[in-house]
Structures are given as structure tokens and as C-alpha cells.
Amino acid sequence: MPIVATLSSIETYDDTSGQFVQSGSPEEITFEHSLISVALWEARWQRAFLTNELTKEEQIDYVGRCMVTSPTKLTALEIFVRLSVEDASRISAYIKSKETATTVFRLGEEKTSQKKNITVELIYYYMVELGIPIEFERWHFNRLLTFIDLMSLEREKQANKDKPFKPTAAQYKAKSELNAARLKQAGLK
């Protein structure tokens, strides 16, 4: 669900009159943290959104340009500067929010054994591969990633359910050691 913020006017100092004046009228802006927003950011910066720390300039661009869904003539910096502290905090919390009660391994989280460069194109690939409708690109980004992870896990579970059980070498060794210990305990070895 997108978040709405009302941008305040800005107080500037007019050298001619020697007074502070209000510029810009309050404006209501809607922000959306979605796959589309991330795609806009990656197109401009040409690097993966999930696997990199954003600079201040990149954060301003993401919030003030890529997340904005309302028509406006303001620049990304003007939007960012005119946000109240409360609205900036709400937007930050919104970006970090899971937006779901489901918890699974997350795309883009770093594991010691696996570090993937997750990009928008890879996420779109997962959506197509899993049969996720394109309309879901407007979902909250973190919720979409959770849904992709969940679908992948469920498919994997289903695939493993249909496979016959094959013991591993370690399981054979453990079973053999257990049988040897039983035989020794029974005095048969």
C-alpha cells in the first residue's frame, strides 16, 4: 500500500526585502516502494539496488524520483527537502517494512555460502518462471520478494515430495556405526 505525505512550503531568505518568505505551496505526494520503483532506480544508477548501500544522493533520487507516483514538477531534491521529519521517518519505516506476516529466506539477503547480485531483471524472471502476474510489480517490494521466496520454497517442497528418498553416504556411515555399536553391545562382535 503506497504512503501519502504532504510536503510543506519552504522558508527562504529574500536578500532584497531582508525578510524570510514562504515559497511553494503544500503539496500531497504519494510514494510507492515497488519493483517498478526499484527498476527506475537501477535504470538510472546501473547497479543492483538490493546488494549495495545507497549513497545520500542515491537515497534522495530513490525517494524523491523513483518512489513518487503523483504528478509533480518538483525535483527529487525539492521533494526530499520539503518532507517533514515525521513523513521522512514514515517513508523510511515503509521501505523497511515486510508488509506481510510471512517469514522466509529473503532474496538479496547475504548468506556466507551464497552472494547473488539480485537485479530487477532477475526478479522479473522469477515472476515469469513462477507464474506470478505482472500486476504484482506494484506490490510493496519486500512483500513481493517474500512471495517469490515462498513460491520457490513451496515448489521445491513439492518437487522433493515426489522424489524417492535416497540415503546419503553420511547416513549409510552413521547407520553402519550404529549397527556396529549394537553388535558390540550385544557381544556379537
What domain range includes position 91?
Answer: 3-162
pLDDT, one tens digit per residue, over 61-109 is: 999 999 999 998 888 998 888 888 999 999 999 999 888 777 665 555 5
Asked, for residue 120, whether it belongs to a domain, the answer is: yes
pLDDT, one tens digit per residue, over 125-170 is: 999 999 999 999 999 999 999 899 889 888 888 877 766 666 666 6
Q: How confident is the model at residue 43 (pLDDT cuts 50, 70, 90)?
A: very high
pLDDT, one tens digit per residue, over 108-129 is: 555 544 556 788 888 999 999 9
**Cα-flanking dihedrals φ and ψ of residue 65, to 5°?**
-120, -55
Q: What CA–CA distances, in Å, run from 104 to 52, 132, 147?
A: 21, 18, 9
Asked, for residue 19, whether it belongs to a domain, the answer is: yes
Asked, for residue 178, whether it belongs to a domain, the answer is: no
Please state, rounded to an integer, the average pLDDT across all residues of the chain: 82
Asked, for residue 170, whether it belongs to a domain, the answer is: no
pTM score, two decimals? Answer: 0.69
Taking a C-beta distance cutoff of 8 angstroms, is the pair 144, 34 a contact? yes
Question: Three-class SS of residue 98?
Answer: coil
The set of cell numbers assigned to 10 is: 519552504
The set of cell numbers assigned to 184 is: 558390540
Per the model's pLDDT, the better-predicted residue between 181 and 109 turns out to be 181
How many other CB atoms sit within 10 Å of the CB of residue 83?
A: 20
